[in-house]
Amino acid sequence: MSKLSLISRGILKENPTFVLVLGMCPTLATTTSAINGMEMGLATMFVLILSNIVISLLAPVVPDKVHIPVYIVVIATFVTLLQLVMQAYTPAVYQTLGLFIPLIVVNCIVLGRAEAFANKHGVLESALDGIGIGLGFTLSLTVIGMVRELLGSLSIFGWKIIPGDGILAFVLAPGAFIVLGYLMVLFNKLTKKN
Amino acid sequence: MEYFVIIISAIFVNNILLSQFLGVCPFLGVSNKVSTATGMSGAVCFVITLATVVTWLINLLLVRFNLAYLQTIAFILVIAALVQMVEIVLKKISPSLYQALGIFLPLITTNCAVLGVALSVAQKGMGLGQATVYALATSLGYGLAMILFAGIREHLSLNSVPKPFRGLPIALITAGIMAMAFLGFSGLV
Amino acid sequence: MVLCLGAVCLVCSALLAGVNALTEAPIKEAAEKALKESIGAVLPQGGELSEERGVSVGDQNYVYYECTLAEGSTCYAVKSTVQGFGGPLTLMVGVLSDLSINNTSVLSHSETPGLGAKCATDEGFMNQWKGFNGVLKVRKDGGDVDAITASTITSRAYTLAVEQAVAAVKAVQAQNEQTKEETNE
- Among the ranges A137-141, B20-24, B33-37, which has the highest mean pLDDT value? A137-141
- Please answer whether residues B37 and B147 qualify as being in contact, where contact means their C-beta atoms are separated by less than 8 angstroms: yes
- Eight-state DSSP code of residue C91: E
**Which helix (H) or strand (E) is C108 found in, with range?**
strand C101-108
Over residues B158-187, the pLDDT tens digits come to: 888 888 888 889 999 999 999 999 888 876
Question: Which of C1, C2, C3, C5 would you mutate first to test chain A, the one with the most A CBs within 10 A?
Answer: C5
Burial class (CB in 10 A: 0-12, 13-18, 19+), C70: exposed
Burial class (CB in 10 A: 0-12, 13-18, 19+), C79: buried
State mean pLDDT over C120-142: 83
Over residues B38-75, the pLDDT tens digits come to: 888 888 888 899 999 999 999 999 988 888 888 889 99
pLDDT computed for residue B41 by the predictor: 86
CB pair distance less than 8 Å for B76 and A72 = yes
CB pair distance less than 8 Å for A182 and B169 = yes
pLDDT computed for residue C118 by the predictor: 79
CB pair distance less than 8 Å for C26 and A32 = no
Q: Which residue of B has its CA nearest to A172?
A: B19
Query: In chain C, which residues have their Cβ closer than 8 Å to the Cβ of A166?
Result: none
Label residue B102 by pLDDT band (50, 70, 90): low
Query: In chain C, which residues have their Cβ closer than 8 Å to the Cβ of A58?
Result: 8
State mean pLDDT over C174-179: 84
CB pair distance less than 8 Å for A177 and B176 = yes
Q: Please, which residues 139-178 of chain B have a Cβ atom closer than 8 Å to chain A?
A: 164-165, 168-173, 175-177
Query: In chain B, which residues have their Cβ closer than 8 Å to the Cβ of A79?
Result: 72
Question: Which of C3, C8, C109, C110 would you mutate first to test chain A, the one with the most A CBs within 10 A?
Answer: C8
Query: In chain B, which residues have their Cβ closer than 8 Å to the Cβ of C152?
Result: 187
Over residues A140-183, the pLDDT tens digits come to: 999 999 999 899 878 888 778 888 777 878 888 889 999 999 99
**Poorest-pLDDT segment among A11-25, B52-66, C109-123, C150-164:** C109-123
Torsion of CA B159, B164, B168, B170, to 10 degrees: -50
Tell me which residue in C4, C8, C27 faces A87 most closely, judged by beta carbons.
Answer: C27
Q: Which residue has the higher pLDDT, B105 or C90?
A: C90
The residues that bridge with B64 in the sheet, in sequence order, are none
B179 touching A (Cβ < 8 Å): yes
Per-residue pLDDT at B128 exceeds 70: yes
- With a CB cutoff of 8 Å and minimum separation 6, the contacts of C185 are none
Per-residue pLDDT at A129 exceeds 70: yes
Tell me which residue in B22, B72, B115 faces A80 most closely, judged by beta carbons.
Answer: B72
Burial class (CB in 10 A: 0-12, 13-18, 19+), A60: exposed
Q: Which residue of C has its CA nearest to B73?
A: C13
Q: Which residue of B has its CA nearest to C83?
A: B124
State mean pLDDT over C2-21: 86
Cα–Cα dist B174/B180, whole Å? 10
Q: Name the average pLDDT for chain A.
A: 88
The boundaries of the domain holding residue A160 are 3-185
Residue A16 domain-assigned (yes or no): yes
pLDDT computed for residue A136 by the predictor: 93
Domain count for chain A: 1
Residue A190 domain-assigned (yes or no): no
The candidate with the shortest Cα–Cα distance to C149, out of C136, C160, C139, is C139
B110 touching A (Cβ < 8 Å): yes
The C-alpha of A150 sits at a distance from chain C's nearest C-alpha, in angstroms, of 13
CB pair distance less than 8 Å for A173 and B169 = no
Tell me which residue in C13, C87, C153 faces B70 most closely, judged by beta carbons.
Answer: C13
Residue A153 domain-assigned (yes or no): yes
On whether the pTM is more than 0.90, the answer is no
pLDDT computed for residue B27 by the predictor: 83
pLDDT computed for residue C176 by the predictor: 83
Question: Which of C5, C90, C153, C154 would you mutate first to test chain B, the one with the most B CBs within 10 A?
Answer: C153
State mean pLDDT over C44-68: 81
Per-residue pLDDT at B188 exceeds 70: no
State mean pLDDT over B140-154: 92
For C53, list phi and psi in degrees, rounded to 5.
-130, 165
Residue A176 domain-assigned (yes or no): yes
Query: In chain A, which residues have their Cβ closer than 8 Å to the Cβ of C29?
Result: 88
CA distances from A190 to A12, A186, B58, C54, C174 (A): 11, 6, 49, 62, 71
Q: Please, which residues 108-137 of chain B have a Cβ atom closer than 8 Å to chain C?
A: 120, 123-124
> Considering only CB atoms, which residues of chain C are within 8 Å of chain B?
12-13, 16-17, 20, 85-88, 112, 115, 150, 152-153
CB pair distance less than 8 Å for B21 and A176 = yes
Per-residue pLDDT at B189 exceeds 60: no
The DSSP string of A89-130 is H-HHHHHHHGGGTGGGGG-HHHHHHIIIIITTS-HHHHHHHH
Residue A192 domain-assigned (yes or no): no
